[in-house]
Amino acid sequence: MIKSITVFNKLTDHPDAGKLILRLTFGILVMFHGVAKILHGTQWISAILEAKGIPAFIAYGVFAGEIIAPIFIILGFLTRPAALIYAFNIVIATLLVGMERFLTVTKVGAWGLETEALFFFGALSIMLIGAGKYSITSDS
């Protein structure tokens, strides 16, 4: 049994492939949000910001966090700073539209902010582990 585990561990020891899969997963998934804002605009974000006394033009920052940063993460270019921008974007989005779900649990037992937490901690993980060798500029 122990020998089987050792063999399995050797066969699956590919941290750079794991980093690539992590980068692709989180980069592509958050880009769906950015593409939706390209297609449908950021007016609703501007309205939320203005209601909180924040200048509406700041809504355009969403493109840095949901288009540019994910592209950089996917490519493995300036991965760590891009992941920090991505994480910051998730925090701001959650503060603007998600905090009413902070203390909620869904019908299936999920935390109300589960998706936001997954994106945030995924971004932090990418920031901490870097791009790996399958990237434009390895920063690991």
Answer whether residue 58 is part of any domain. Answer: yes
Reported as type and span, the H/E element at residue 61 is: none
Answer whether residue 140 is part of any domain. Answer: no
Answer whether residue 39 is part of any domain. Answer: yes
- Kindly provide the residue ranges of all beta strands, DSSP E only, lying in 27-72, ordered along the sequence: none
Answer whether residue 106 is part of any domain. Answer: yes
Higher pLDDT, 139 or 36: 36
Q: Find the domain containing 99 and state its range.
A: 15-129
Answer whether residue 134 is part of any domain. Answer: no
Compute the Cα dihedral for 114, 63, 42, 25 and give only its sign. Answer: negative
Instruction: Give the per-residue pLDDT at 139.
Output: 62
Say whether pLDDT at 1 is over 80. no
The pLDDT tens digits for 70-108 are 999 999 999 999 999 999 999 999 999 999 999 999 999
Answer whether residue 137 is part of any domain. Answer: no
Say whether pLDDT at 138 is over 70. no
- What count of Cα atoms within 13 Å lies in the side-chain half-sphere of residue 9? 6
Tokens representing 15? 């941290």
Confidence of residue 3 (pLDDT cuts 50, 70, 90): confident
Sequence-distant (≥ 6) Cβ neighbours of residue 8 within 8 angstroms: none
Answer whether residue 72 is part of any domain. Answer: yes
Instruction: Give the per-residue pLDDT at 63.
Output: 97
Confidence of residue 64 (pLDDT cuts 50, 70, 90): very high
- Domains in the chain: how many in total? 1
